Amino acid sequence: MAAGDLPAADTRGRPLRDLRISVTDRCQFRCTYCMPRDIFGRDFAFLPRQDLLTFEELTRLGRVFAGLGVRKLRLTGGEPLLRRDLERLVAMLAGIDGVEDIALTTNGALLARKARLLAAAGLRRVTVSLDSLDDAVFMALNDAAFPVAGVLDAIAVAAGAGLPVKVNMVVKHGCNDQSVLPMAEHFRGSGHVLRFIEFMDVGTTNGWRLDDVVPAAEIIALIGERWPLEPLAASYPGEVACRYRYRDGGGEIGVIASVTQPFCRGCTRARLSAEGSLYTCLFAGAGHDLRGPLRGGASDEALRAQVASVWTRRADRYSELRSLATRPKQKVEMSHIGG
């Protein structure tokens, strides 16, 4: 492939446009739907420091991916703000030709003290996770005794730093479905887009059962009964959230219905795990090692050819095929590759 040519799309015609970078597999929360404490306890072996890609390595890969068509980067984890001086990485990534957008997904615990530095470094927007406004419910889910007020404060500081904020709420049946309406009410009119996420069968440790999923259609019906809603068009091709707006002008909400309304068809995302493996699907069983070649002296051109070859062979559509018969036995954990 000549330099400057973008690779062909994958086997389903999907181009490579977004890269989600997990900068650490560690987290100070133990959300029951992601890193349950009985499995990821205090003694759980996280990756040794030397296994994580350095900021320089991540920037080099960022450049390789940008050369292949990636325009949006999202930093995630684990909890990305546990990675010291993350703003330095943001500044390095912001300097890459072709990168138009850098976002961060965070639990918010360390965001208040970092928001201004991150915005000054070139972060364009932030998604903050918050699953309830009720401390008892939220703490039962995060299993780290972290209070709601800490997250609300982080959201306010981030917005004050000029960062557009979205709020992610994972809805798990029997855990926080009663928090849907209070969350909708709180964020109506705030300018922050609240997005409800169906509990997904990511990884193998969160004990996922279909019965625990609250279908997005139910969430929309519940909210729409109280505050009438109307659907909005996607703001860009391949957007994962279905958007709605309050008819009374109260702003916008979204639902991410990866279980009940799979969006594999428009998926243009690649994912880089904290240890430098490339995954072409959130539900993948195995990644493609890039750290080995990166540390083994591979040229940029060789890395680019490797990524292009993985992408052009990509056929993933796990959510569309979701069934016991097709589910791989071992799937990568959310904390390794981020959401």
Ligand X SMILES: C[S@@+](CC[C@H](N)C(=O)[O-])C[C@H]1O[C@@H](n2cnc3c(N)ncnc32)[C@H](O)[C@@H]1O
Interface residues with ligand SF4 (CB under 6 A)? 27, 29-31, 34-35, 77-79, 107, 129, 334-335
Per rule CB under 6 A, is residue 170 in the interface with ligand X?
yes
E strand or H helix at 194:
strand 193-198
Q: How far is CA 245 from the centre of its chain?
A: 23
What is the number of other CB atoms lying within 10 angstroms of the CB of residue 325? 6
Instruction: Answer yes or no: are the C-beta atoms of 278 and 58 closer than 8 Å.
Output: no
Task: Kindly identify the residues of this chain, within the stretch 72-91, that bind ligand X according to CB under 6 A.
Answer: 76-77, 79
Q: How many chain residues are in contact with ligand X, going by CB under 6 A?
A: 21
Identify the three-state secondary structure at position 163: coil
What is the number of other CB atoms lying within 10 angstroms of the CB of residue 327? 14
Q: Which residue has the tokens 């440790």?
A: 205
What letter does residue 96 receive in the DSSP assignment? S
Per rule CB under 6 A, is residue 7 in the interface with ligand X?
no
Task: Kindly identify the residues of this chain, within the stretch 94-113, that bind ligand X according to CB under 6 A.
Answer: 105-107
Q: How far is CA 165 from the centre of its chain?
A: 14
- From the list ligand X, ligand SF4, none, partner contacted by residue 35 (C-beta under 5 to 8 A by kind): ligand SF4
Nearer to ligand SF4, 68 or 241 (CB): 241
Task: Kindly identify the residues of this chain, within the stretch 10-49, that bind ligand X according to CB under 6 A.
Answer: 27, 33-34
Q: Burial level of 260, CB count in 10 A (0-12/13-18/19+)?
A: middle
CB of 29 to ligand X, least distance (A): 7
Q: How far is CA 288 from the centre of its chain?
A: 19
- From the list ligand X, ligand SF4, none, partner contacted by residue 306 (C-beta under 5 to 8 A by kind): none
Nearer to ligand X, 168 or 268 (CB): 168
Task: Kindly identify the residues of this chain, within the stretch 218-277, that bind ligand X according to CB under 6 A.
Answer: none
Where does this chain bind ligand X (CB under 6 A)? 27, 33-34, 76-77, 79, 105-107, 129, 168, 170, 197, 199-200, 202, 206, 334-335, 338-339
